[in-house]
Structure formats: structure tokens, C-alpha cells
Amino acid sequence: MKKLTLKDIASHFGVSISTVSKSLKDSSEISREVKVKIQEYAKEHHYKPNRVALNLLNKTTKAIGVIVPNILNYFFTQVFYGIEQSANARGYTIISCISDESYKKELQTVELLGSGIVDGIILSLSEETQARDNTEHLQNLIENHVPMVLFDRVTEKISCDKIVVDDFEAGYNTTKHLLKTGCNKIAIISTIYNSSVGKLRVEGYKKALRESGFNYDGKNVVEVGKNEDLQLLISLLLDNREIDAIIALDEMTAVDTLNILKLKGITVPDEISIVGFTNGRLSKYVSPALTMVSQHGKYIGELAANILVDRIEYEGEMPFTTKLVKTTLIERDSTKKDQ
């Protein structure tokens, strides 16, 4: 026994398919008697209209595709959660895919989702895509008129709706804050030096230093590759120069850095302050609890879903927008108090 179709029901009662269809829609065209028996039969046999057929007919799927680089990163799971909530509230399902920071997987996924199974796409570029700066697959999507919103890791080469964290300002504000607490030998530890996000934060940091009359020293920006030893790099950093604050560009690294400093017998924040990016679950549980920059992931997700659905449902022209979401510094105990 396979899935029940209208045809099956029709032949069971010896009526036409459209009679069944109308009956199930409780159309006034159909006699009470027939409707009732068909409805009962359908209910009894758990008839469900085939959504794939409806999708084909309606040329809409009420689904949106989400592609994030990495679900194990708390920022993205928060965004994902926000998207899910908002999309659902507006009657859309989510098809979610993970690019795993790989260009190839992102490409494949985009091609798949672009082939009609979703009404629109929300995406954050994979690391590799940003490094290679190859965005043809996204251009194709645009040309095929698939609505898309890019968030967090975006590219200028594509015109579409975007939501970006104000990473420049975040870098600037974070640095400013550290300066105000009396730190001025500030280092950055970046695991995302290939991404727009990472670069912008560093730019903001430079600007803040410059404004306060300090020189930017490239050696103070430590780039940590995937398989590199953070502990070694930090030791190198601290051996060669005096440092009184460290900005870690992701949560994991912030926590790792804290532990490494503790291991070295350096007190936080008295000797070195730490600020990390992404206010996830780790940072408030370590001791001292870490001061973090929150990017409001859930909010970004909600925004992305709403903008996308607006575009999907709105007939006619709508200019593309880029929303800049401000970050918030959550002060805890790994930085000194502003005096």
C-alpha cells in the first residue's frame, strides 16, 4: 500500500478526481451526502494532499533555504534559531544546510536550493568562498531571480539584501573601551583573518588606536590557522612585546586565551585584559567571566527571515537594503572597570 491519492479515493467511490478534490475543500458545489462520505473516508485513511504536487502547481514551496558555514559555532546556531522562529511564524519551513566552510559544498548547496525547492535563500559565506572571492554561484542565483539575503559574511559583488554586524564599529568600540580602562598595548588574536568580518574588526581597532595617538603594529595582530598552536603563538607574542590587553575574535579563542594566561601565571584582568567576540555560553561560566561582544545572533536571524519573506511575498520592485546591526559590549570580569 502506497500513499493515498485523490485518484485512489475517486476510484474507490467511482467518482471523478475533481469531485473528491472539491469535497475535501468542502466546496458548496458538491452535495452534502457525497462530501460527507468522502471526507470521512479521507480522514479515516489519513489522506494528506501531496505537497510536492502543490508546490509544482503553485510554483511556490513556502520553504526557505538556509546555508550557514558551521552549526557548531554558537553565533550561527543562534542566527539559525532566530530564522527558524520568524520563518515559522510567517508560515515558512526551513531547509537548512551547512557549507562546512567549504566553497565546493556551498556551491553544491546553492545549486540544489536554487532549483525550485525553496522560495528564497539566507546565506552566510563560507570561509573558503570569502578567501577565493568566488561568488559566481550567487550571481547565478540572482540572475535566476531567487530572492536571497546574505548575513554576517557578505560580499560586495552581489546585489541583494544584506544584514551585517557592524564589525568595524565593534572593533573600534572594543578597542576604545580597553583604552579607557588604561590598556594601550592591545593585541588581537584572529582565527578569521580571511573573512570580511575579521578584517573589519581589525580596521576598527586600528582607527581607535590612531585616534588615541598610538601606533598600529602589525605584529600585535596574531593570525591563528586551523592547525596552529595557540599556546605557542601567545607565548611568542608575549615574549616579544609588552601586552596589556588581548581581543580574541571568537569565543573559543577567548576562553583558550584565558586559560593559557592563567597557566602562565598571568592575572586577568590586572596584568592583561581580555575581550572576546560572540557572547555564547562559554564566556560567562569561566572565571573570571569574560567580557564579550554580543552580535545579537538571534535578532539577526529574525531580521533575515523577515526581510526575505517580505521580498518573496512582495510583488514589484523593492530596493535592496543593507542593515547594519550594532554590537553590544557585555562587561564582565576579564576587563578592568572604566575609570
Partner DNA sequence: GTGAAAGCGCTAACAG
Partner DNA sequence: CTGTTAGCGCTTTCAC
Choosing from 28, 145, 156, 339, the residue that interacts with a second copy (CB under 8 A) is: 145
Contacted entry of a second copy, DNA, none for residue 19, CB cut-off 5 to 8 Å set by kind = DNA
DSSP H/E element including 149? strand 148-151
Q: What's the CA gap between 322 and 85, in Å, rounded?
A: 21
For residue 226, the partner it binds in DNA, a second copy, none, with Cβ less than 5 to 8 A by kind, is none
Which residues are CB-neighbours of 26 under 8 A, at least 6 positions away?
35, 39
Sort residue 119 into left (φ over 0), alpha (ψ -120 to 50) or beta: alpha
Alpha helices in the chain (DSSP H): 6-13, 17-24, 32-44, 51-58, 74-89, 103-112, 127-132, 136-143, 167-180, 196-211, 230-240, 251-263, 297-313
286 binds a second copy (CB under 8 A): yes
Give the binding site for DNA (CB under 7 A): 2-3, 5-7, 14-19, 21-22, 24-25, 27, 29-35, 48-50, 53-54, 56-57, 59
Here's the x/- map for a second copy, 17-46, by CB under 8 A: it reads as -----------------------------x
231 binds a second copy (CB under 8 A): no
Binds a second copy by CB under 8 A, chosen from 242, 265, 281, 315: 281
156 contributes a contact to a second copy by CB under 8 A? no
Q: Which is nearer to DNA, 12 or 48 (CB)?
A: 48
Q: Does 61 bind a second copy (CB under 8 A)?
A: yes
- H-type helices in 119-182, by residue range? 127-132, 136-143, 167-180
**Dihedral sign, CA of 191, 133, 306, 318?**
positive
Query: Interface residues with a second copy (CB under 8 A)?
Result: 1-4, 46, 48-53, 55-56, 61, 63, 71-72, 77-78, 80-81, 84, 88, 93-98, 105, 111-112, 114-117, 140, 143-145, 252, 255, 259, 281-282, 285-287
